[in-house]
Amino acid sequence: MTQGILARYRDRLPVGAKTPIITLGEGATPLVQADALARRAGLPKGSLYLKLEGSNPTGSFKDRGMTLAISKALESGARGVLCASTGNTAASAAAYAARAGLRCVVFLPKGGVAMGKLVQSLMYGAEVVEVRGNFDEALALAMSTARREGFTVVNSSNPFRIEGQKTGAFEIVEQLGAAPEYQFMPVGNAGNITAYWKGYREAGPGRPRMMGFQAAGAAPLVLGRPVLKPKTVATAIRIGNPVSREGALRARDESRGLIGKVSDAQIINAYRLLARLEGVFCEPSSAAGVAGLLKIRHEGYPIRGRAVCILTGHGLKDPDTPLQFAYKRKIVAPGGKLRL
Ligand SMILES: *Cc1c(COP(=O)(O)O)cnc(C)c1O
């Protein structure tokens, strides 16, 4: 049977003898070498890798944290779980809660969730509440509802989410044989960059520079203040007031990394390059780290050693964005002669 991260990293996670293990076999995601993309970034062969977190059971890295958060909620006798989400946290919570037999209520910003993610929450049987507002407003409503109703919050403010997500760093160290010199990733609520930095600190002596990227229209950590009306095509990082702000700044400073911003055009460019050059279809938000790498290389930023880009979610989550681009397609009648 496929083991999930709770079984594989039990000794490094807050899992006790009485903790029920709610798993879908998350983790153990591929780390693939990306030489064509490396060439684009002016980097040598064998120096750039992609961590395909879209290969997790519900299609995003959120499953790493959710297997633990839901297991612990069940252990503590929770009445139900609840979250606010731009889509992936909700899809993941809904799936694991279904397995645990727990009620799951998800608060989604109306119109701000990619189609694939919305249908996942519906299929897994979550109680879906659409909030006429943005993510930050949905989160405030979720938190006050949870307090009043006695539900467990499974947003990344839940420390078990961070604990579970740190296992991504353990895997990269195992897959490369050591920590890389750089890690590039998108930053939204900043739970993931916080979790990876914790994971690397626990994994051993080698530590990458943590290179986080926000979308230019939703870059509170770059601006140093919350953004009231965050705007970007990358809905998973359309967040104006990150919950794990302190953790992200700590990761940046302690690792001597950076948190930068990339435009929507740069995100979309990286998103399309990943698919065409590497055969890797991720969602737009996931491409923000790669966009950041290409941007800073273009500006002459030196990279020495190996770099890993975390591709946080699967491209099929968001089937609408690709349909906005033009493609060449042939339409033929059967029986005709087709010249290629
Ligand atoms: C949640 C999410 C992010 C952002 O992660 P944070 O922990 O909020 O910084 C990025 N990409 C995808 C696909 C996500 O689902």
Mean pLDDT by 10 residues, the chain (340 residues): 94 97 98 98 98 98 98 97 97 98 97 96 98 95 96 96 98 98 98 98 96 98 97 96 97 98 98 98 98 98 98 98 93 87
Ligand 1 pocket member 88 (CB < 6 A)? yes
Residues of the chain with CATH 3.40.50.1100: 5-59+160-323, 62-157
∠ CA(316), CA(320), CA(322), 5° rounding? 80
- 308, 184 Cβ separation under 8 angstroms: yes
- Residue among 60, 259, 316 to mutate when testing ligand 1 (max atoms within 8 A of CB): 60
User: What pLDDT score was predicted for residue 156?
Assistant: 92
- 127, 104 Cβ separation under 8 angstroms: yes
- First-residue to last-residue Cα distance in the chain: 46
User: What pLDDT score was predicted for residue 339?
Assistant: 87
- Nearest Cα neighbor of 307 from 211, 176, 196, 182 is 182
User: What pLDDT score was predicted for residue 2?
Assistant: 84
Options 3.20.20.140, 3.40.718.10, 3.40.50.300, 3.40.50.1100; CATH of 5-59+160-323: 3.40.50.1100
| Dihedrals phi, psi of 211, to nearest 5 degrees | -115, 95
- Residue among 198, 237, 267, 311 to mutate when testing ligand 1 (max atoms within 8 A of CB): 237
Ligand 1 pocket member 285 (CB < 6 A)? yes
Cα torsion 278, 279, 283, 284 to 10°: value is 40
For residue 174, give the 3-state DSSP assignment: helix
Ligand 1 pocket member 185 (CB < 6 A)? no
Q: Give the whole-angstrom CA distance, residue 290 versus residue 41.
A: 10
Neighbours of 119 (CB within 10 A): 13
Neighbours of 30 (CB within 10 A): 15
User: What pLDDT score was predicted for residue 336?
Assistant: 80
pTM for this structure?
A: 0.97
247 C-alpha vs ligand 1 centroid, how far in Å? 14
DSSP class of 101: T
- 167, 27 Cβ separation under 8 angstroms: yes
Ligand 1 pocket member 60 (CB < 6 A)? yes
Ligand 1 pocket member 187 (CB < 6 A)? yes
- Nearest Cα neighbor of 180 from 288, 301, 51 is 51
User: What pLDDT score was predicted for residue 39?
Assistant: 98
184 C-alpha vs ligand 1 centroid, how far in Å? 13
Ligand 1 pocket member 189 (CB < 6 A)? yes
Q: Give the whole-angstrom CA distance, residue 241 versus residue 189.
A: 7
132 C-alpha vs ligand 1 centroid, how far in Å? 21
- Residue among 117, 221, 285 to mutate when testing ligand 1 (max atoms within 8 A of CB): 285
135 C-alpha vs ligand 1 centroid, how far in Å? 13
Neighbours of 8 (CB within 10 A): 16
Options 3.90.1150.10, 3.40.47.10, 3.40.50.1100, 2.50.20.10; CATH of 62-157: 3.40.50.1100
Q: Encoding tokens for residue 179? A: 């920590």
